[in-house]
Amino acid sequence: MSKINVTPFFKFCRVKVMNQVFDTKAEEVRIQIKPDERFKPICSRCRKRAEEIHSFNHRSVRDLNIFHARTSLFVTYRTVKCATCGTVVEYVPLLEPYKRVTRRLADYILELCRHMSIKEVAEHLKLNWKTVKAIHKRYLKEKFSQRKNNQN
C-alpha cells in the first residue's frame, strides 16, 4: 500500500480529507473524508444554513476512478436540524443525499451513456449495471418529465 495526495481534488467541496490509501495489488484507492468544521452545515433541501447538528453518519460512496484504480470515499456526514425542513442530511456539493455515487461520477456515467451501452459503461467503471441503469433512468425521468410539465 502506498500513500497518495488527493487533497487538492476536494478543495472546494466543504470536506476535509482525513486519510488516503492506494492499494496497488487490489488497484483500489480509499479516501476518508469528513465535513470541514470551518463551514456551517447547509440543509440539502432549502440550502439554508442549519445551526444545529442532529447526528453524524457514515457511508461508502463510489467516486471517479483515479487512473485505473477503483476509488471509494468513506464519508462522514452530518444530519442537521433545519428551521424550515426539519431533520435532513446536510448539503455536500460532492454528494447527492442518500446516493452511493458522487455527483461527478454520475455525470461521467451519463456522458458515457451517450456513446456506450449501459453494460459497457458498467464494465468500464467496474460498477453493477443496475447502478448505471438507475442513474440513467433518473436522468431521463428528470429531463422528460420537466419538458412535459412545461408544455401544459
Could you read off the pLDDT tens digit of each residue along the chain, which spans 152 residues?
A: 455 566 666 666 788 888 888 888 888 989 999 988 888 899 999 999 998 999 999 999 999 988 888 999 999 999 999 999 999 999 988 888 889 999 999 999 999 999 999 999 999 998 999 999 999 999 999 888 865 555 55
What pLDDT is stored for residue 7 in this prediction? 62
**Residue range(s) defining the domain that contains residue 132:** 101-152
- Rounded Cα–Cα distance for residues 34 and 37 (Å): 9
* Ranges of H-type helices in 54-102: none
Same domain, 107 and 87: no
> Which one of 44, 79, 94 terminates a domain?
94
Same domain, 26 and 79: yes
Same domain, 75 and 137: no
Q: How many domains does the chain have?
A: 2
- Rounded Cα–Cα distance for residues 73 and 60 (Å): 6
Same domain, 56 and 130: no
What pLDDT is stored for residue 148 in this prediction? 52
Same domain, 58 and 105: no
Same domain, 108 and 133: yes
CB 132 within 8 A of CB 109: yes
What pLDDT is stored for residue 23 in this prediction? 87
- Rounded Cα–Cα distance for residues 109 and 142 (Å): 16
Same domain, 7 and 29: yes
Same domain, 16 and 52: yes
Same domain, 40 and 112: no
Same domain, 5 and 44: yes
What pLDDT is stored for residue 11 in this prediction? 62
What pLDDT is stored for residue 80 in this prediction? 94
